[in-house]
Chain A
């Protein structure tokens, strides 16, 4: 297959060797408590259906998705609900979030699950989307967008390709690599079901060339299906970015503010495909995920199939504990992952990795003045000029930063990574994006208030006018004829 080059990008130290050859192991025994936040996804938080003291079974619905973009939360094992309370979220803010606390009873007793969809390829695409929604599946590459919503794009747009993202371009992470090596048939089957739901005739599975075993395994599993093509893509960060992977495969750039789906391409992660396979073929909701536990401070790095809600501390203990206090504890990859405030937060649906990074690995240094070397401009995969955007943001000139395109930034972190002056560029951009979004929201709100106020004034004026006219008519009618 002909590939197309993507602009810029970097080649960070991948450091995948620590876990690449470690087969997925289930986390056993189960943690004493599982912490299940009601918001593990983009969109509205789920609504709790259980109360403290309730007995629940494995796979039972604990939280119902609310509104068009939301996701359900299930019990990863059987047990007793200990608490439904505001607890620290696995988020850099460290703010509390409504969380269901489950005490496993050790029975691991299944609830009655939805029946398998016997022949998904004969089923109505709607039934598959519904099943995926019921199963609480979200994008497992880290974006955590509800998958059922993304599977619905076929009703609005004509889709050509389901692009399965197995690039795994983040350093350290090997969870997708292992899933593809160990469960290729499940991934392929899930992908075929998703393509059917989307109405996409072709499936392209893109895997970076540094995963030859995964490529072999997936090619073998896909060989029976002519509609599936397994493609090895160059090792280049951020190849796994939805827009950039689409460009590498189709040669087309997704226009600004549009979706890849507007080009006929829908991108899903390989682990998401596996979850869809489980939901459709076995009626099993999303209860666990493979997490790469790595970093120089972890004694025995592993790929762990961990129940959702597992405290990070338990996960690290399962991997032999820490050899030193890490400089950073990160959820996800080191490039785009979130820093964690403590190990007292749970694994959620989007947790692809837990990295305990040493000072040497993080390689943080004091920021020096920008020398305008222009490397950030050369490597920006979005064609932006980070040096200018940062200069405007530093002066709090958000309009200036927006004019230089800060809202087009995907926060891939390449510029921060490469900066010889160690300027936290992405930190600046995230700040600016947040502020600009808030300002826009505020502006829209003000416009709306103004519109409503004007509409009210117009309505009142109309009423007054009508009253005056009525009074005038009345007066005219009552006045004696001359």
Chain B
């Protein structure tokens, strides 16, 4: 018996795979996705399917162009996950081409131009979101109030086709996302604290209720993109992948911690200008971003200390952009900015090697008895 020896050990391997990791993350997103599709009706479903389908199609096209094998790469589930995350960042009634064009940005430009899976510097889903947000601000910020899928007054199947694939939902009852609302009111000279009070007053009076209260922020009966609404279900999914060991606590805790810290400290300084910390955490894409976007393996640092720095940076930048910049939501920008820094963070935040000091010199031999 002669055997071919083509590698050194180990000759056993953990039952893991890239496919499985991606599938687990997708599974964690399912509850929030189903809830939100239910909440925003058929148009949300159509947009979701178009977006994910486009990502897979663009991935296949890129692989064919590069003359690389299509099937093994396509089945790694990474394009589906990218599409899924991108879809969750879209306004649910956005037209179909936002999904398709975004797929080209995410998969072709952000991923395959850099060399495909594992080579991209920037988070593909966030590249797509930002590219479309700056190019098509109207379509990308047209949020609607919840229209449950079989609810009265919600568009039917055919009507919904027109919303997604037709001229758009011009007569839809639009509504601002909570972040956008606070920002707009502030721009009009109304202090943040008053806006928030207004939010909760309206919550008590169902007649006035077209804006979300805090409970709604958490559960998800509010306007927003697919992934922004329902912080609780997204959090549940995040805790699931944390428990499964797909992600560690470092990035989510650092993102949310620093966002909360900035919010709380500045709110304490001037409550009329700055929204409180919990509002920042519960609104917008904070939870989705902290657990699912910032934790993207490829574009985040590999060491735990580096991940803490990276996460804290995202939290701080998100707060900064939300508070001072032109856009109400800053998570996508913050993630992209920190993506650019990830390689440098990796250079400077390494674990300490066994038997060496942090600087890399051999440890001194301890005097005295062992």
Instruction: Please list the residues of chain A having a beta carbon within 8 angstroms of any beta carbon in chain B.
Output: 7, 10, 12-13, 92, 94, 160-161, 171, 243, 250, 252-258, 262-265, 313, 325-326, 328-330, 334-343, 355, 357, 361-366, 368-374, 377-378, 380-385, 387-388, 404-405, 408, 411, 413, 416-422, 424, 426-427, 430
Contact = CB atoms under 8 A, between A and B. Distances in A.
A426 B8 contact: yes
Contacts of A13: 12
B304 A253 contact: no
Nearest to B363: A255
B298 A371 contact: yes
B269 interface: no
Given A250-B370, A263-B370, A255 B365 contact: yes
A253 B354 contact: yes
A160 B366 CA distance: 14
Contact of A378 (B1, B2, B9, B304): B304
B302 A387 contact: yes
A171 B9 CA distance: 13
B17 interface: yes
A78 to B, nearest CB: 30
Given A255-B363, A342-B2, A361 B21 contact: no
B12 A420 contact: no
A317 to B, nearest CB: 12
Contacts of B152: none
B344 interface: no
Contacts of B360: 405
Contacts of A422: 13, 17
B117 A416 contact: no
B3 A385 contact: no
Interface string B12-45: 1111111011000000000000000000000000
Nearest to A329: B3
B272 interface: no
B15 A265 contact: no
B198 interface: no
B346 interface: yes
**Which applies to chain A's interface (DSSP): helix, strand, loop or mixed?**
loop
A94 B9 contact: no
A420 B244 CA distance: 14
Given A250-B370, A382-B353, A388-B346, A418 B11 contact: no
8 nearest A-B pairs in the assembled complex, by CB-CB distance = A374-B302, A413-B10, A369-B118, A256-B362, A255-B363, A363-B13, A334-B12, A256-B355
Contact of B11 (A94, A160, A328, A373): A328
Nearest to A160: B370
Contact of B3 (A258, A339, A408, A427): A339
A91 to B, nearest CB: 10
Contacts of A381: 354
B370 A382 contact: no
B123 to A, nearest CB: 12
A424 B354 contact: no
A426 to B, nearest CB: 6
Contact of A339 (B8, B302, B303, B304): B8
B369 A416 contact: no
Contact of A243 (B72, B248, B301, B354): B354
B15 A385 contact: no
B9 A380 contact: no
Nearest to A384: B353
A374 B366 CA distance: 32
Contact of A417 (B1, B12, B20): B12
Contacts of A7: 354
B217 to A, nearest CB: 32
Given A256-B356, A340-B5, A383-B356, 7 more contacts: A252-B366, A340-B3, A341-B3, A368-B17, A371-B78, A417-B13, A427-B8
B370 A369 contact: no
A313 B1 CA distance: 9
10 contacts: A252-B366, A253-B354, A330-B11, A339-B9, A341-B2, A342-B2, A371-B78, A371-B298, A374-B303, A422-B13
A2 B21 CA distance: 38
A326 B2 CA distance: 10
Contacts of A416: 9-10, 13
A329 B11 CA distance: 9
Nearest to B369: A160
A371 B13 contact: no
A345 B139 CA distance: 71
Contacts of B356: 255-256, 383, 405, 408
Contacts of B5: 92, 94, 339-341
Nearest to A246: B370
Interface string B126-152: 000000000000000000000000000
Pick the most buried of B5, B8, B307: most chain A CB atoms within 10 A of its CB. B8
Pick the most buried of B7, B15, B346: most chain A CB atoms within 10 A of its CB. B7
B189 interface: no
Contacts of B11: 328, 330, 334, 337, 339, 355, 357, 361-362, 364
B157 to A, nearest CB: 39
Interface in B228-268: 248
A366 B15 CA distance: 14
A253 B118 contact: no
Contacts of A413: 9-10
A408 B370 contact: no
A340 B2 CA distance: 9
Nearest to B301: A374
Nearest to B361: A256
A311 B294 CA distance: 55
Given A265-B370, A371-B117, A12 B353 contact: no
Interface in B109-123: 116-119
B8 A363 contact: no
Nearest to B13: A363
Contact of A369 (B2, B116, B363): B116
B353 A256 contact: yes
B76 interface: yes
Given A160-B370, A380-B351, A421-B18, A326 B12 contact: no
Contacts of A364: 11, 13
A63 B248 CA distance: 56
Contact of B76 (A338, A368, A388, A408): A368
A382 B355 CA distance: 8
A343 B1 contact: yes
Given A357-B12, A366-B72, A413-B9, A255 B364 contact: yes
Contacts of B304: 377-378
A250 B354 CA distance: 15
B188 interface: no
A256 B9 contact: no
Pick the most buried of B7, B20, B78, B370: most chain A CB atoms within 10 A of its CB. B370
A388 B9 CA distance: 20
Contacts of A362: 11-13
